[in-house]
Amino acid sequence: MWNLQTALAIFGTLCLTSISGYKNGKVEKSCESMMPEHHSQPNTTASPYTLTVNASKFSPGDNIRVTLSGSEHFEGFLIQARDATNPDGPAIGSFTLVDPEISQRLTCNSIEGSAVSHTSNAKKTEIQVIWKAPSKAPPTVQFLATVLAHYKIFWLKLPGPVISQGDVTPAPSQSTTVMSTKSASPSILPQPFTSEGCGTSKSCLIDPVSCNPSVDTNCFFLSYSTLGQTVSFELSGPAQGYVSFALSKDKWMGDDDAYLCINDEGRVSVEAAHTTGRTYPEVSSKSVLTDVGWRVSDGVIQCKFSRSIYTPQDPVRFSLNNSYYLFVAHGTAEYGMIHRHTWQPLISSHHQIITGPPEILTGSRSPLLMKYHGALMLIAWMLAGSTGKLMAAYFKPDWPEQTLFGQKIWFQVHRMLMSLTVLLTAVGFGFPFVYRGKWSTRAGAHPYLGCTVMILTFCQPIMAAFRPAPDSSRRWIFNWLHWGVGNAAEIIAVVSMFFGIRQQSLLLPYPWTTGVLSAFVVWTIVLKLVLKLHKHDVIRKDINCKMIQTESEMKQNKLFKIIYLYV
Ligand SMILES: *[C@@H]1O[C@H](CO)[C@@H](O)[C@H](O)[C@H]1NC(C)=O
Ligand SMILES: *[C@@H]1O[C@H](CO)[C@@H](O)[C@H](O)[C@H]1NC(C)=O
Ligand SMILES: *[C@@H]1O[C@H](CO)[C@@H](O)[C@H](O)[C@H]1NC(C)=O
C-alpha cells in the first residue's frame, strides 16, 4: 500500500515536472544563488517565516532538527546549511526527510541531500527536516532558507540560526533566529535619545560630562545595551557630515571596528566599516546591522542600530563579549563620503566589555602622551632652559670665591639646568612619535621646528664637552658657537611652542593660551633687558670711578639679581 502511494507520488512528481519548472521543487539550478528561477525581486520587508534548530552546538555526525515555520502559509522553499563565515559558499552536510510528502532532497555541491525543497505548491505553514553534520564541518554553520509565499512573492536566503562545533565558541542562542530581514528600511526616530537610564539600563559615553542629548544640542553621546544576543547602540552628536564610533583594542586608531552615521542631504546612512591604519574606513558590504533608525535636527545627527554579539558572517566585526576602548569621532561629509575628522576623537578613559554591566564612561579628546609632551617641553624651555641661560649670561661675576664640587657656582647651576633641559626635551620629543607611531603630516610646522630644536639641543652638550681650555686661542670660537646655537634653539623652541599649543590633540582653549604664552615671553625679555642694563651699570661704575666696590654694594648687587631670579 505504502509502495503504491510512493509510486503514485513519483508518478505525480514526474507529471508535474513536465508542467512547471518550479512547482515540483526540482530547483537544483538555484543551488548556488538560492534564487528561484523566473522570479523578479525578492521581498525585502520583514518575513513572516522563522527557521529554528533544536541545538546550538554540534559534533560531526550529529543530527539537528531544522524547522521552517510561518505565521502565514508558504508554497515553496529551499533550505541549505552553509559555512557561517561564508554564506555565499557551497551547501554542506546532508538532510534526511521527516515528511517526504512535502519535502525532497536535492543534490547541491555534488552532495546528495545537501538541500531540501518542496514537492508541490500545496500551502503549508511548517516543515521539518533533519540535518546531519558532515565529518569535516566548519566550526560554525548557518542555515539559510528561500521561502516562496506565492508565485511572485518570495524572500531570498533568509538567515537562520548559526550553530557551532562543541569545542568552538558559543554561537548566538536560538532566540535570535527570527528571520528579521536585515535590509529592512531604516526608521525615522520620533524623538532624540536620552541619557536617562545611563549606568542602570545602558552604558554611556558622554561628552561633555553628564550632558543629555535630549535637551543639549552640543552633546556627544554613545550608549549601548545588551538584550539577549543582540546589542543596541545609540549615537548622537552635533556634526555637519557624520558621527561615528569605533571599538578599538588599544588607544590608537587603526584596525578598529567602526560604525558610521553619514548625513547625505538630510538622509542618514548607517554603515559598519573597518579601519586599517589611518586610511579611509572600508565600508562593509555585508549587512549585519538591524533595527536601524536615524534622525537629523538642529545640526545634530542621531542614529541607532542593533547587531548580534557574534557575527560569524562578517569576521571583520569584533565580538562584543570582549573589552574595547570606544572612540567617538565626527566631521564633515560630501556625497555620503566622510572627510577626515578635524577634531581629535573622544576616547574612553578605559576599556570595557560591551556586553558587561551598565556603566557611565568618561572620555578625553586629548591623549595623555601629548599632554606630557607639552608639559615637559614647557618645563624644559620656559623654566630650566631660560634660567640656565640667565645664569651663564648674568651671574658669572657673583659668588666668585665659592665653588660647588670644584667648579664655580654659576657653572654648576648652568650645567645642571641645561642638562635637565636636554633630558626633558629628549624624553618629551619621543612621546608624539610613540603616540602617532609615525611622522605626522598634518601637524603643520610644529614637528619640523621641534626636530630642529632637538638637533640643536643635542649639539650643545657635545660642543661643551669638547670645548677648548679658557685660555686657548680658539676659545672665542666656542664661546660664540655655544652662545649662537643656544639662542637659536631657544628662539625656535619658543616659536615651536606657539605652533604646538594650537595642535588639536592638546585641546587647549585657544586663543587664551597664545595670550598667556606671549605674556610669558614678553616677561622673559623684559627680565633680560633689566639684567643687561644692570650689568652695564655695574661695569660703567667700575670703569668710570675706578672705585673698588665696597662689601655692601656687592651684596646689594647680588641681592638684586637673586630677587630677579626668584621672580
Ligand atoms: C512583500 O510582502 C508584503 C506582504 O506579504 C506585501 O505587502 C508587499 O507588497 C511585498 N513586497 C514586495 C516588494 O513584493
Ligand atoms: C535534535 O533532533 C534530532 C532529531 O530528532 C535528534 O536526533 C537530536 O538528538 C536532537 N538534539 C537535541 C540536542 O535535542
Ligand atoms: C568572546 O568570544 C570569543 C569568540 O567569539 C572568545 O574567543 C573570547 O574568549 C570571548 N571573550 C570573553 C571575555 O568571554
Q: What are 50-68's pLDDT values in tens digits?
A: 888 998 889 999 999 999 9
Give the cell for residue 394: 648674568
> Would the CB of 218 count as within 6 Å of ligand 2?
no
Ligand 3 centroid to 318 CA: how many Å? Answer: 10
Tell me which of 540 and 166 has the higher pLDDT: 166
Nearest protein Cα to ligand 1, atom 14: 43
Alpha-carbon distances of 146 from 124, 155, 158, 179, 557, rounded to whole Å: 15, 6, 6, 11, 97
pLDDT of amino acid 509: 63
pLDDT at 429: 87
Residue 237 has pLDDT above 90, yes or no: yes
Q: Which ligand is nearest to the CA of 49?
A: 1
Lowest-confidence region among 83-97, 177-191, 266-280, 508-522: 177-191
> Do residues 156 and 30 lie in contact, with contact meaning Cβ atoms separated by under 8 Å?
no
User: Where is 432: in which H helix or E strand?
Assistant: helix 409-436
Q: For residue 293, which phi and psi values (nearest 5 degrees)?
A: -145, 155
Q: What is the 3-state secondary structure (H, E, C) of 436-495?
A: HCCCCCCCCCHHHHHHHHHHHHHHHHHHHHCCCCCCCCCHHHHHHHHHHHHHHHHHHHHH
| Range scoring the smallest mean pLDDT among 155-169, 292-306, 544-558 | 544-558
Tell me the C-alpha distance between 331 and 262, whole Å. Answer: 10
Atom of ligand 3 nearest to the CA of 319: 5
Q: Are strands 290-297 and 300-308 parallel, antiparallel or unpaired?
A: antiparallel
Read off the pLDDT band of 178 (50, 70, 90): very low
pTM (2 d.p.): 0.48
105 band by pLDDT with thresholds 50, 70 and 90:
very high
Between CA 222 and CA 206 the distance in angstroms is 7
CA-nearest residue for atom 12, ligand 1, is: 43
Residue 515: per-residue pLDDT = 80
Q: In what order do the strands lie in the sheet with 220-227?
A: 187-188, 290-297, 300-308, 230-238, 220-227, 203-207, 360-361
pLDDT at 472: 81
Mean pLDDT of 477-496: 88
Cell of 115: 538541500
Per-residue confidence at 14, pLDDT binned at 50, 70, 90?
very low
The best mutation among 45, 73, 148, 151 to test binding of ligand 1, ranked by most ligand atoms within 8 Å of the C-beta, falls on 45
The CATH number for 187-364, chosen from 2.60.40.10, 3.40.718.10, 2.60.40.1210, 2.60.120.890, is: 2.60.40.1210
Share of the chain above pLDDT 70, in %: 82
Ranked by mean pLDDT, the top range of 301-315, 367-381, 543-557 is 301-315
Low-confidence winner among 43-47, 85-89, 468-472 (lowest mean pLDDT): 43-47
pLDDT top residue among 310 and 9: 310
- Say if residue 183's pLDDT is above 60: no
Strand partners, 198: 202
Q: Using DSSP bridges, classify how beta strands 57-58 and 154-165 pair: parallel, antiparallel or unpaired.
A: parallel
Q: Which of 163, 169, 229 to mutate to test the pocket of ligand 3 (most atoms within 8 A of CB)?
A: 169
Burial class (CB in 10 A: 0-12, 13-18, 19+), 247: buried
Sign of CA dihedral 33, 37, 41, 42: negative
pLDDT on residue 133 = 93
> 40-165 and 187-364 share one CATH topology?
yes
Atom of ligand 1 nearest to the CA of 153: 14
- Ligand 3: residues with CB < 6 A are 169, 310, 319, 321-322
Tens-place pLDDT, residues 412-445: 888 888 888 888 888 888 888 777 666 776 677 8
> Above 90 in pLDDT, residue 130?
yes
Query: Would you give the end-to-end CA distance of the chain in angstroms?
Result: 113
Fold of 40-165: Immunoglobulin-like (2.60.40)
Coil/strand/helix, residue 421: helix
What is the mean pLDDT of the segment spanning 447-466?
Answer: 87
- Which comes out higher in pLDDT, residue 99 or 298? 99
CB 141 within 8 A of CB 82: yes
Where does the pLDDT of residue 203 fall: very low under 50, low under 70, confident under 90, or very high at 90 and above? very high
User: Domain residue spans in the chain?
Assistant: 40-165, 187-364, 368-566
Residue 9 has pLDDT above 70, yes or no: no
Mean pLDDT for 197-217 is: 89
The CA distance from 563 to 559, in Å, is: 6
pLDDT(408) > 50: yes
pLDDT of residue 227: 83
Cα–Cα distance for residue pair 41/146, rounded to 1 Å:
13
**Which of these CATH numbers, 2.60.200.20, 1.10.540.10, 3.40.1260.10, 1.20.120.1770, describes 368-566?**
1.20.120.1770
Nearest atom in ligand 1 to 152's CA: 14
Query: What is the pLDDT averaged over residues 19-31?
Result: 72
Highest mean pLDDT among 35-39, 457-461, 562-566: 457-461
| Residue labelled with grid coordinates 623654566 | 383
For the chain, what is the total number of helices (H) and then of strands (E)?
Answer: 8, 29
